[in-house]
Structure 1
Amino acid sequence: MGRLFGTDGVRGVANADLTAELALGLSVAAAHVLAEVGTFEGHRPTAVVGRDPRASGEFLEAAVVAGLASAGVDVLRVGVLPTPGVAYLTGVLGADLGVMLSASHNAMPDNGIKFFARGGHKLADELEIRIESLYEEHNTGAPWARPTGSGVGRVTDYASGFDQYIAHLVGILPNRLDGLKVVLDEAHGAASRVSPEAFARAGAEIVTIGADPNGLNINDGCGSTHLGLLQAAVVEHGADLGIAHDGDADRCLAVDADGNEIDGDQILAVLALSMREAGQLRKDTVVGTVMSNLGFKIAMEREGIALVQTAVGDRYVLESMKAEGYALGGEQSGHVIVLDHATTGDGTLTGLMLAARIAATGRTLADLAGVMTRLPQILINVPDVDKSRVNTSAELAAAVTDAERELGATGRVLLRSSGTEPLVRVMVEAADIEQAKAVAGRLADVVKSALG
């Protein structure tokens, strides 16, 4: 069996790759691994289950709940709620595990299953492997030993989770948002009710778009992957800023008053300075990835803040933060983790903290984000190549060395193989966009000839 878990749970086309049978079986396996059902007497485990508004989430939620309850796990069903909300409730309610049904920023036909361990933490590779192995063992061999009678799990709709999560978000803020006008693009996703309610309770005047989910329109031309509607709305309504989430609201991108995009690196820069000023930026360090813009690194060095860079993926950012005790980390894509208040990226929390900084300082978002200059970044995907040789080809290594020599200290080159496709990603940054395009094009040609 190929590995089911990817970089963020199990994901695929709903009812094709990700079936009800798979969802049920994985949930039973997760109950044995994460909730330790059947391992000791008197243990009555609990799970928190939530989803985004995708139509397929309805039957997948039913399958997950059935699997957990059949294994003897009591289920608290929180309904449509952002991924970080499910993680938060898993921790605060003392549940043995949490389950979120979402394919994040993917198009509507896809869906996914994300599991959380006790405390609301993402799973380590070892736990994912154990769940997969146990699922495969019972899928092809002996059936599960299942409880009967009073031993089966009970299912409860936990409606108060919505208010608990919003109270948590608003309670974190150091100041209110009175006087700010904010446009929120909810991507017709999981934060369609949560985010507007949280911003309104915090005092902001809000304009909401992309907040009418019908099960079919999630991420469709809106949200953090399509900023055009938000940019136009911010300018039209004369707002101070715009906030965009993805389908499960673990991301946040922003738009300034002039309609300009503010990406995850810029948001991290603003929050890093704010948290250091408040004495909350432990070790004066922020965690990013190898894709963090060079302008972000230069700005942090200038401000006396260290930057630790990890592999691409918020799970690797989180691992570094937990291992070293850092407080802030994230990705260019808008996954921002504030570890004192969340165990995963939380788009609503990020947007609230960004707005709070604007309200507290009286400065515009453009001014605050101006702490860093985003250098032009060109990314070319080179398909149908032998990606396994990207780090061993002498021809490619020589081309990279030449490119780095040409770019000097104000540019950089990054080649990395895709984790899911037979392609190599060529990324080049430079102070001049035309130079970046030229160098990236030449490197892409070398990748084709050397690895094709």
Structure 2
Amino acid sequence: MTKTRRLFGTDGIRGKANAEPMTAGIALRLGQAAGLLFTRGEHRHRVVIGKDTRLSGYMIEPALTAGFIGAGMDVTLLGPLPTPGVAMLTRSLRADLGVMISASHNPYEDNGIKLFGPDGNKLSDAMECQIEALMDSSICNRLAEPHRLGRASRLEDAAGRYIEAAKASFPRGLRLDGMRIVVDCANGAAYKVAPSVLWELGATVIPAGVTPDGFNINRGCGSTVPEYICAQVLEHSAHLGIALDGDADRLVLADEHGELVDGDQILGMIAETWHQAGTLRGGGIAATVMSNLGLERHLGALGLALHRTKVGDRYVAEHMRTNGMNVGGEQSGHLILTDFATTGDGLLAALQVLAVLVQKQRPASEVCQVFTPLPQRLKNVRFSGASPLRNDHVQAAIRDQESRLNGTGRVLIRESGTEPLVRVMAEGEDADLVADVVDSLCELVARAARPQETVA
């Protein structure tokens, strides 16, 4: 039987900073436990730690560092760096473990911890369960002897190494000369590296969201506020807008007309381009249950398959490794291109789009909108206490509402892995019907989530 994880969600540990589970004490314990688990053999063991720009990173980073040092691991601090940069340097430096301190697209009040194995891949559910079990055990008597304590040092050129790796993913011989690009870094981890990569490849760069102050990460900018990048593209008459999230592992785009391009469209465009070039592997792509049916139909017309996984880019990555695929991702903008990276990388995905624009000499509006999406609607219902999805009446209503779509669409309801939310999604041929199905289910879920009045 698979053990249930208590601390880890779909993307590491996440929560409000300085409140459980995102406290210095738990971070210390996590460093100790993960350090012990990954201390194997007689070599000097190393962990690399990166972070985004949140104020609470100054609390979590030293706590993790102390835990790893106490477990006998050397710590290499990378400073602010995109999540994929941490994964890349974990492999490049032959580290035993990689850590990213970030709550991704969440506001500054939150923070999180993501762990990578020595291969640069996110840890499996089973491995996270082992870490939790160690954290719950008496590990003080297993920590390193004084002469085996680790040391901490800082890698001064971490950003430069990532910049060079990102540029190497862009086709040799191509440049971005003549292109005006707005890049919104969400006041997050990519605030230095993303504009630098684009500028060094020849683009005229209009940077936005590049003045982090510890509090403004994702505030009014970034991939979760797409209207901002769309407006910036129009204001600056840009050829393309790139919006990253707080740790730069996902993106959305805006074409030259200020029209949004989501992760599904980017996946479809890259899959089609690579398929035509003969470089797409695995006979299709991997995406989650959230991806639009329009994408699935478009790929099917090309003779390609869409393999669906549960939500979470690490589940997409696991499926890709198992099935020999090199393109996958999420509608939200996590794009995994394993020819270049082990995890989602918003900047690398944007560079692949830019390469097509340069090669075809066509505007983004013609290249990036590769299929007509089916009407899809997603709404969130916040709850406290037990999940309303455990209610039998809710489950019956879900089946009833899905039957209204008459086989031309689908209903998907799930709990968020990072917040106390129920996500209600439906899609189908009829936009009005889809909207009514979602609204009806949201009302029912909200009613089931309310505390029941007791009768005296």
TM normalised by structure 1 equals 0.92
Which residue does the alignment assign to 2:24?
A: 20
Equivalences for residues 109-128 of structure 1 within 5 A: 109-128=109-128
Which residue does the alignment assign to 2:36?
A: 32
Q: What's the CA shift for 1:327?
A: 0.6
Q: What's the CA shift for 1:442?
A: 3.8
Is the contact between residue 222 and residue 244 of structure 2 (CA under 8 Å) also seen in structure 1? yes
Q: What's the CA shift for 1:382?
A: 4.8
- Percent of aligned pairs with the same residue? 45
The answer to whether the aligner puts 1:107 opposite 2:107 as a matched pair is yes
Equivalences for residues 292-311 of structure 1 within 5 A: 292-311=291-310
Task: Please tell me the residue identity of whatever aligns with 2:235.
Answer: E
Equivalences for residues 21-420 of structure 1 within 5 A: 21-36=25-40, 40=41, 42-138=42-138, 142-149=140-147, 151-174=148-171, 175-382=174-381, 386-389=388-391, 393-394=395-396, 396-401=398-403, 403-405=404-406, 408-409=407-408, 411-419=409-417
State the alpha-carbon separation in 1 of the partners of residues 82 and 110 from structure 2: 17
Is the contact between residue 390 and residue 415 of structure 1 (CA under 8 Å) also seen in structure 2? no
The answer to whether the aligner puts 1:9 opposite 2:9 as a matched pair is no
Which residue does the alignment assign to 2:454?
A: none
3-state DSSP of counterpart to 1:122: coil
3-state DSSP of counterpart to 2:257: coil
More moved, 423-432 vs 277-286 = 423-432
State the alpha-carbon separation in 1 of the partners of residues 125 and 393 from structure 2: 24
Please give the per-residue CA displacement for 1:103-158, whole angstroms capped at 9, x wherever unaligned. 1101101111111111211001111111111111027xx54432213x22121111
Task: Please tell me the residue identity of whatever aligns with 1:165.
Answer: Y
The answer to whether the aligner puts 1:438 opposite 2:436 as a matched pair is yes
3-state DSSP of counterpart to 1:224: coil
- Seen in structure 2, the aligned counterparts of structure 1 residues 64 and 419 have a Cα distance that, compared at 3 Å, is closer
Is the contact between residue 292 and residue 331 of structure 1 (CA under 8 Å) also seen in structure 2? yes
State the alpha-carbon separation in 2 of the partners of residues 420 and 86 from structure 1: 21
State the alpha-carbon separation in 1 of the partners of residues 285 and 392 from structure 2: 29
Which residue does the alignment assign to 2:453?
A: none
State the alpha-carbon separation in 2 of the partners of residues 383 and 31 from structure 1: 36
Is the contact between residue 251 and residue 333 of structure 1 (CA under 8 Å) also seen in structure 2? yes
State the alpha-carbon separation in 1 of the partners of residues 429 and 398 from structure 2: 23
3-state DSSP of counterpart to 1:190: coil
Q: What's the CA shift for 1:35?
A: 2.9
State the alpha-carbon separation in 1 of the partners of residues 382 and 15 from structure 2: 21
Q: What's the CA shift for 1:287?
A: 0.9
3-state DSSP of counterpart to 1:212: coil
Task: Please tell me the residue identity of whatever aligns with 2:143.
Answer: A
State the alpha-carbon separation in 2 of the partners of residues 332 and 339 from structure 1: 17
Please give the per-residue CA displacement for 1:394-426, whole angstroms capped at 9, x wherever unaligned. 45424422x131xx43x3322334456776433
- Seen in structure 2, the aligned counterparts of structure 1 residues 214 and 266 have a Cα distance that, compared at 3 Å, is same
3-state DSSP of counterpart to 1:334: coil
Q: What's the CA shift for 1:438?
A: 2.3
Q: Which runs of 5+ in 1 are unaligned?
A: none
Q: What's the CA shift for 1:229?
A: 2.3
3-state DSSP of counterpart to 2:138: helix
Task: Please tell me the residue identity of whatever aligns with 2:13.
Answer: V
TM normalised by structure 2 equals 0.91
More moved, 182-191 vs 360-369 = 360-369
Q: What's the CA shift for 1:388?
A: 2.3
Is the contact between residue 381 and residue 426 of structure 1 (CA under 8 Å) also seen in structure 2? yes
Alignment length (residue pairs): 441
- Seen in structure 2, the aligned counterparts of structure 1 residues 245 and 311 have a Cα distance that, compared at 3 Å, is same
3-state DSSP of counterpart to 1:287: strand
Task: Please tell me the residue identity of whatever aligns with 1:283.
Answer: G
3-state DSSP of counterpart to 1:440: helix
Q: What's the CA shift for 1:167?
A: 0.8
Q: What RMSD in Å do the two structures reach over aligned CA positions? A: 2.2
- Seen in structure 2, the aligned counterparts of structure 1 residues 424 and 161 have a Cα distance that, compared at 3 Å, is closer
Q: What's the CA shift for 1:45?
A: 0.4
State the alpha-carbon separation in 2 of the partners of residues 160 and 314 from structure 1: 28
Q: Which runs of 5+ in 2 are unaligned?
A: 451-456
State the alpha-carbon separation in 1 of the partners of residues 288 and 353 from structure 2: 21
